[in-house]
Amino acid sequence: MNILDKIIAFKKTEVAEKSSLVPIKLLEKSIYFESDIVSMKDYISDQEKTGIIAEFKRKSPSKGDINPSASVEATSIGYMQAGASALSILTDQEFFGGKNDDLISARKFNFCPILRKDFIIKEYQIIEAKSIGADCILLIAAALEPKRLKELAKFAKSLGLEVLMEVHDGEELASSVNEFLDLVGVNNRSLKTFDVSLQTSYDLVEKIPNEFVKISESGISRPDTLVSLKQAGFEGFLIGENFMKSSRPHQAAYNFMNEYRELLAAAAGLTVEK
């Protein structure tokens, strides 16, 4: 079994246990359940913003601990002050050290789109995402049959949530794209081997239908890479580890985004006021 297979196998057991302990009717009583979402699609598409989805994660299967003691409150607020367009919050505990309370905390302190980053395989998790204050969910093409992915995307839309579908190659993109998606992300890191190649994004950007907001994910560590990806056609960029490995993730994000703005302005022949 590769790491993705292990995660999905664990997730099946986890979701079964959670749904037996916390019934859907209880989730639907959350103060967030009837709230309108903040559109990630709109925020990422806004040319006045950076397009960066800043991610909060404590660890990963490939890197181990990244920043286990980081504060969700300080980091998420700092990300938004630095100029992020949206937040991505890991809620998987077993493999990424996250929890639902992390997203609830981020929601409490920030008015911005929040992506629930998890391995969603059941409708229960989508209801749960809405109940903890998420605006958008992630559906991973490598983890779901195309028919099942479409069913889950349609269900998410019925709750008012937006959907980011993640692909790793052209085959996943061609077989899984559907009308219930809002954003399509290209993950430059293979969830099977954890090898990273930005070429994956460049190869797929023109194959993503233009009605979807295009996101490049993972392996982005330099501001000039964002300029190249933007020029290639991407509107959004998911960055987590590059910020989280710093002792002060929000400061790392601030420095990164400032340099990105300057490079983008220079590419357009403009100057940035400091």
The answer to whether residue 217 is catalytic is yes
Question: Of 11, 41, 57, 214, which is the active-site residue?
Answer: 57
Question: Of 11, 41, 55, 216, which is the active-site residue?
Answer: 55
Is the model's pLDDT at 191 over the cut of 90?
no
Residue 205 CA to its chain's centroid (Å): 17
Tell me the three state secondary structure of residue 87. Answer: strand
The answer to whether residue 187 is catalytic is yes
Give strand pairing partners of 86. Answer: 53
Distance CA 76, CA 54 (A): 8
CB-CB contact of 55 with 239 (8 Å): yes
Question: Of 128, 166, 172, 241, which is the active-site residue?
Answer: 166
Nearest CA among 97, 92, 204 for reference residue 143: 92
Q: What tokens were used for 210?
A: 């233009």
CB-CB contact of 161 with 187 (8 Å): no
Is the model's pLDDT at 273 over the cut of 70?
no
Question: Of 217, 235, 241, 242, which is the active-site residue?
Answer: 217
The answer to whether residue 94 is catalytic is no
141-170 residue pLDDT tens: 999 999 999 999 999 999 999 999 999 999
CB-CB contact of 150 with 88 (8 Å): no
Q: How many domains does the chain have?
A: 1
The answer to whether residue 197 is catalytic is no
Looking at the domain assignment, is residue 272 inside a domain? no
Residue 220 is part of which domain span? Answer: 3-267
How many degrees, rounded to 5, is the angle at CA 214 between CA 233 and CA 253? 90
77-135 residue pLDDT tens: 999 999 999 999 999 999 999 999 999 999 999 999 999 999 999 999 999 999 999 99
Nearest CA among 243, 178, 246 for reference residue 209: 178
Question: Of 117, 150, 214, 230, which is the active-site residue?
Answer: 117
Looking at the domain assignment, is residue 232 inside a domain? yes
240-261 residue pLDDT tens: 999 999 999 999 999 999 999 9
Looking at the domain assignment, is residue 274 inside a domain? no
207-216 residue pLDDT tens: 999 999 999 9
Looking at the domain assignment, is residue 136 inside a domain? yes
The answer to whether residue 100 is catalytic is no
Looking at the domain assignment, is residue 69 inside a domain? yes
267 — pLDDT class (breaks 50, 70, 90): confident
Is the model's pLDDT at 66 over the cut of 60?
yes
Q: What tokens were used for 151?
A: 């069913």
Provide the mean pLDDT of the chain. Answer: 95
Looking at the domain assignment, is residue 43 inside a domain? yes
The CATH number given to whatever domain includes residue 192 is 3.20.20.70
Looking at the domain assignment, is residue 250 inside a domain? yes
Question: Of 110, 201, 218, 242, which is the active-site residue?
Answer: 218
Residue with tokens 């709230």: 35
The answer to whether residue 117 is catalytic is yes
Is the model's pLDDT at 274 over the cut of 70?
no
Distance CA 26, CA 13 (A): 20
Distance CA 243, CA 245 (A): 6
pLDDT of 272: 58
Looking at the domain assignment, is residue 273 inside a domain? no
